[in-house]
Amino acid sequence: MNSEHSILGTGNHAIAVTRISDTQWHAVEEDRVLGCGDTSRRPDGRLFISIDAWHGAAFAGIADAMLADLPTPLYTVVDEADHATRSAWERAGFAAARREWGYLVPTDPQVTGLGSLQPPSDVTIVPAGEAQEDPLRALDRVIRDEVEAAVGWQTMPAEVLPRPAGTTVVDPSKYAVARHFDQYVGLLRVVPLPRQPRIGLIAVRADRHRRGIARALLAHTLGSLHRSGKASAWAEVDEANAAATALFESIGARRTAGTLELIRR
């Protein structure tokens, strides 16, 4: 935590970059903090870094210091429209690994076309807050194992959540669930943010795909949000997830943003 690096800053003054804790670096020029760098370890074990700096020299200095102090691989995320920041990361040796689309999702059934949609006859939608905790956790574990065995959990929307060891469902009240007889087979999590709810995850067991369960979960959830006065929700979808992209775009969701995940190996 006492590593220090110096580079030439503005006006021929040296910028000192110091690691002040296990997870934080500061760039200082003549007692002025010009920027800081932070790390966070995601639930899947990957180490992400971020830098907030006033000018390019400070950004480069912090990046160099962090790269010297930390093991690879390292990850970061950047708004696709922020070309300057992306270029700064690329100069530090990062390259694009995946893209995540951001969708504005309408809730009005007349817009989504989901107003009359019903789940399959042998499936019941359990509203958020009413799911039984143990079966919900068991379903979440099954789905995570299926995703990890296929495309890998790193392709799911990135989330930094404080989780006790082994716990993947932090707040069961945020989940609506699809139940087939006495078995949970699909789930949808909504984070009820004040300005705009966020659909954090929608997933169905592999052996229940192509039955309209995900669409039924979405119809139920969006309908509930609409009745509560929310005009839209937000969702992120991995660019490579063609099924999820098709599902959201089929109900009138509008792509409004893109996020790039970068990696330095």
The four Cα atoms 46, 52, 56, 61 give a dihedral, to 10 degrees, of: -60
DSSP alpha helices (H): ranges in the chain?
56-69, 83-91, 109-112, 133-149, 213-227, 242-250
Q: What is the mean pLDDT of residues 103-112?
A: 96
pLDDT at position 162 is 45
DSSP string, 61-129: HHHHHHHHHSPSPEEEEEETT-HHHHHHHHHTT-EEEEEEEEEEEE--HHHHS-TT----TTEEEEPTT
Say yes or no to pLDDT of 231 above 60: yes
Q: What is the DSSP letter of 237?
A: E
Q: pLDDT tier at 153 (50, 70, 90 boundaries)?
A: low
Say yes or no to pLDDT of 258 above 70: yes
Please write the tens of the pLDDT for every residue from 1-46: 556 565 555 556 788 999 999 999 999 988 889 999 999 988 778 9
Please write the tens of the pLDDT for every residue from 116-138: 999 999 999 999 999 999 999 99
Say yes or no to pLDDT of 151 above 70: no
Q: What is the mean pLDDT of residues 130-148?
A: 90
For residue 178, the cross-strand partners are 125, 186
Per the prediction, the chain carries an average pLDDT of: 88
Q: pLDDT tier at 160 (50, 70, 90 boundaries)?
A: very low
Report the C-alpha gap between 214 and 199 in whole angstroms.
13
pLDDT at position 157 is 54
The CB-side HSE value for 129 (13 A sphere, CA atoms) comes to 4
Contact residues for 191 (Cβ-Cβ < 8 A; gap 6+)? 174, 197, 198, 200
pLDDT at position 207 is 93
For residue 35, the cross-strand partners are 27, 53
Domain architecture of the chain: domains with CATH: 4-98 (3.40.630.30), 101-260 (3.40.630.30)
Say yes or no to pLDDT of 78 above 90: yes
Q: Give the closest residue to 200 by CA, choosing from 181, 221, 220.
A: 221
Peptide bond into 172 cis (omega under 30): no
Distance of CA 230 to the CA centre of its chain: 21
